[in-house]
Amino acid sequence: MAQPATEQPPADLQVPDNAIEVRGLTKVYGGRKARGSKPALDNVDLDVPQGALFALLGPNGAGKSTLINILAGLVVKTAGSARVWNIDIDADPRGARAAIGVVPQELNIDSYFTPREYMEMQAGLYGVPVRERRTMEILDMVGLTEKADSYGRTLSGGMRRRLLIAKAMVHDPPILVLDEPTAGVDIALREQLWENVRALNRRGVTILLTTHYLEEAEELCDRIAIINHGRVVACDSRDAMLHRLDSKTMDVTVSGAIGDIPDPLRRYKTDCPAPNRLRIHYQSGRTRAGEILDAIARSGLDIVDLRTEEADLAAIFRQLTRGDGGTARQPHEDEYR
């Protein structure tokens, strides 16, 4: 996490259109002349609108953490520029760090501090005057009021995650970065964490999220960027991103065994996953569902059940990062135990 700044963003700082602006951002570990080195970030341009709930997705090693660490002041960029809340990270590194709170993936909570003590210490490091501290207000916001005076070692994993969010908010930053915040957290706690995040966003906090759980990025975020091999390969609103493939699937269950694909359905990409089931892939912009239903009727098939599915974020992610060794994953059932 970034070293705490000794000052807070000026109260009269004008609210920018973009909470984060990155232009030509490049990072080569070992320097530009390092033999065989590949850039962790390669000429990245990215805008995170003020007030957005923004997902930054990519396979392992794509450059997500490098980008976050540059914004947080932990990593020195090789080239390009970055502004955090309209503050240039080179011209005013303290001001830029004060405008952002980072919640790391690691549960780095001191076991011998209580949440109240932890928050007060962090507020002191950020130079927040005692009269302006909101320790109990923030702990209440993340559901830790009753644990305010319990030692860190007694907190569950979910409570520690919430405490990390609270810690990142002590200096009231307008931007909150969440790096894999729900990794390994059970379903109930994930939902609780996300309600906390939604509440912060409703209060006007800009949220930048990295996650491997694509379904939660699809559900929560209004804008999504996908990064691969250090380059941004897609950045758009969630709805526009989901319409990229214009791909739908119709699953049809019929009353009897099908055998060969009927002639009226051969013009579509059709397969038969079970003796009495058809799966038909089509583009909704070119083919209407009614046309397919007419073709099924002409085939003499009696429909028992029917459902359609649209392409989800996972399908778009796979398409844009195809051939990469890293993969986005869905939660494994063992993580919920």
On whether the CB atoms of residues 274 and 264 are closer than 8 A, the answer is no
Structural tokens at position 69: 């660490």
- Domains delineated in the chain: 18-242 (3.40.50.300), 248-310 (3.30.70.100)
| CA 263/CA 31 separation, integer angstroms | 61
The residue ranking higher by pLDDT, 332 or 12, is 12
Q: Which stretch of 47-51, 123-127, 252-256, 319-323 has the lowest confidence by average pLDDT?
A: 319-323
Whether 314 shows a pLDDT value over 80: the answer reads no
Structural tokens at position 95: 């001001």
Q: In sequence order, which residues have a C-beta less than 8 Å from that of residue 140 and are 6 or more positions away?
A: none
Number of other CB atoms surrounding residue 219 within 10 Å = 11
pLDDT tens profile 61-87: 899 999 999 999 999 999 999 999 999
* The dihedral formed by the CA atoms of 169, 172, 176 and 180, expressed in degrees to the nearest 10: 0
Query: Average pLDDT over the chain, rounded to whole?
Result: 85
Please tell me the predicted confidence (pLDDT) of residue 322.
73
Mapping DSSP to helix (H, G, I), strand (E, B) and coil, where does residue 296 land? helix
Please tell me the predicted confidence (pLDDT) of residue 217.
87
- Residue 107 DSSP code: -
Q: How confident is the model at residue 323 (pLDDT cuts 50, 70, 90)?
A: low
What counts of helices (H) and strands (E) characterise the chain? 10, 14
On whether the CB atoms of residues 19 and 4 are closer than 8 A, the answer is no
Please tell me the predicted confidence (pLDDT) of residue 326.
41
**pTM, entire model:** 0.74
